[in-house]
Amino acid sequence: MKSRNFVQELRYAREHRYAVGAFNIFNYLSARAVIHAATTMSCSVILQTSAATVKHFGPQELGTMLRQLAWNAPVNVLVHLDHCTDPDLARACIDCGWDGVMYDGSQLPLEDNIANCRQIVAYAHHRGVMVEGEIGKISGVEDDIQVDAADAAGAGLEESLYFLEQSGVDALAPAIGTAHGVYTGAPKINFDLVRELAQRTDVPIVIHGGTGLAPEVFRALISLGASKINVSTAIKQAYVEGCTHYLERHDGKFNPLDFDQEMNCSIKDVAMAHMRIFHSGEGAAQ
């Protein structure tokens, strides 16, 4: 079921003071579990795919699978490519039915990032696909993208606005102090940048590094204008932990369907826990 496109969904979320959860899935089971969570919560959701996942399955095979799941869902399910540094892979996903793609040129000089984004935007918009861009460098590891904490660079307001104006991206992921992976301490979040960007532009603001952030941090970011929050590591952890618990309890007696159901419940529970937080302020703007 498609009721709103990628940008419409994020703008609607911002208007109504909630955030759409974007969950990095890695196979059919994880995608289906996230959709089950969204269906139970009666909320829209974004199935997010890493570049590594796309390369593993192939854009055509993965795109066909995800489109079928999205079309059959009773809630709005959008398919989005996360942290893609390869313009050719981004174009392949656009051609194979993704609703949105993120081109990550954050490790390039600013003007090169802008130029590459502009090319992807032109290609995507011609096909009705939206584009997310990143400004600054978000620390941590995301597939083959690794940014050490010492090399992370926070985004500035004027630089972010310039990037938006010149690149034409539909959604912005500014580096605000969050990190990919598991936090080893409380991150120092630049809440002011989120508020200032929301005041200066209607372009949806995306928060990366959602795993491990405290509920009050999520709620503060959403109240300031963030409308898409990415969760990746928590979904992977739920899968591995569910697998481990199943094998420990069944002592070698293995039923594939029961195993899949265990994984489904484990991922669904984690996704729902995040969705409850992301939607806890919903309706405040109505």
With beta carbons less than 8 A apart as the criterion, state whether 82 and 102 touch: yes
The one catalytic residue among 82, 99, 104, 170: 82
Is residue 277 helix, strand or coil?
Answer: helix
**Whole-angstrom distance, CA of residue 149 vs CA of residue 114:** 24
Catalytic annotation on 82?
A: yes
Contact (CB, 8 A) for 267 and 239: yes
Nearest one of 188, 192, 232 to 209, comparing CA atoms: 232
DSSP label of 150:
G
- Element of type H or E holding 8: helix 6-15
Of all helices (H) and strands (E), which one includes residue 258? helix 256-278
* CA-to-CA dists, residue 170 to 75, 202, 232, angstroms: 22, 10, 22
CA dihedral for 265, 33, 90, 43, sign (positive or negative): negative
Active site members: 82
